[in-house]
Amino acid sequence: MEAPVTESLPKGIDLGIVVTDGDAAVRFYTEVLGLKLEGSNPAGDATMYRVSCGTSQLKLIAPNTTPTALPKAELFGMVGYRYLTITVDDVDAMVAVCEAAGHPAVIPPRDLGPARIAMVEDPDGNRVEFLRLPS
């Protein structure tokens, strides 16, 4: 397989997350995590809130009717997207901010090889990992 030309390489990843409460999700990702709300728009029978993280974007999709929740499972207990990772300068500080806002760490800060990681959950239980790589 031939490698793609440099001009066509991806510049970021957009991820759609279906949420039960758009306002709560937007508050978590913007006010708690510090991401930037770029705007919102109708998306069929839902509202999509676009939140930027570097060159990537989270699309928080709040249906007008309550969506069915997925069953809870251990981190590696089911297939599919299990968490998203945000690279930060200070994992412990991000966890402290989340805990102060009522989102305790489900995986407390720890060293994993040369990296430092932790995980919290958003208002719907979606996991967000914080990652600090060595300089």
Q: Give the DSSP H/E element, type plus range, for residue 116.
A: strand 115-121
* Domains of the chain, first to last: 1-65 (3.10.180.10), 80-135 (3.10.180.10)
Q: How confident is the chain (135 residues) per 10-residue block, as mean pLDDT?
A: 65 90 97 97 96 94 88 76 92 97 97 97 95 92
pTM of the predicted protein model = 0.86
Residues 6+ apart with CB under 8 A from 36: 30, 51, 52
